A and B are shown apart, each in its own frame.
Chain A
């Protein structure tokens, strides 16, 4: 199982390193969106709005990035994977790959935000930890949704429709958590919120692990 995950993950990462199409696409997407915000919010942004905007753009980027998890490859190759690896390994490798991709995108978009819209973040290490947890949650929830959307015929339009409602609990807790590190900070208790985020992520991952085999088989 572990070796299967490792081989599949290495294959995805090598392909990505060679072509760089996902990562470059994501960074361009973020750059374009943030530049649009820079043009729209001319007198600058208050910390609360900066925070909300940052995570909403992250969500859009994540939906965009994970949407290609399964549909990016040729159907014949899926049959090949089906014959050599267990569905759980495929799901885990895709989730880890998305996690890495989303973490880099998150850091990149923080950089772009910092350049264009300023950075009201008062505690940078804390904010980076939040980016890591966000990448974990986004990847574990959205990989399964991507698989569902890929199985239905119109995957691109369905991805956003299916993923936004299931993202609400994670997003609302994420924005509250991140607000502690941004600006003056909220009054919420930090350990509880962090625990909640990690709990949602792992619950989603466990559910995905159980449910994915039903999507995978033809």
Chain B
């Protein structure tokens, strides 16, 4: 019973960490793109 619970928690945590990494990478990529666009417009 206890083991099952920890498996569930691990799966949820891994999925959430995946989503977090996706969000962070998107954010970084956008920051880079925005910098380039700012340079271009100047």
A/B contact in complex, CB under 8 angstroms: no
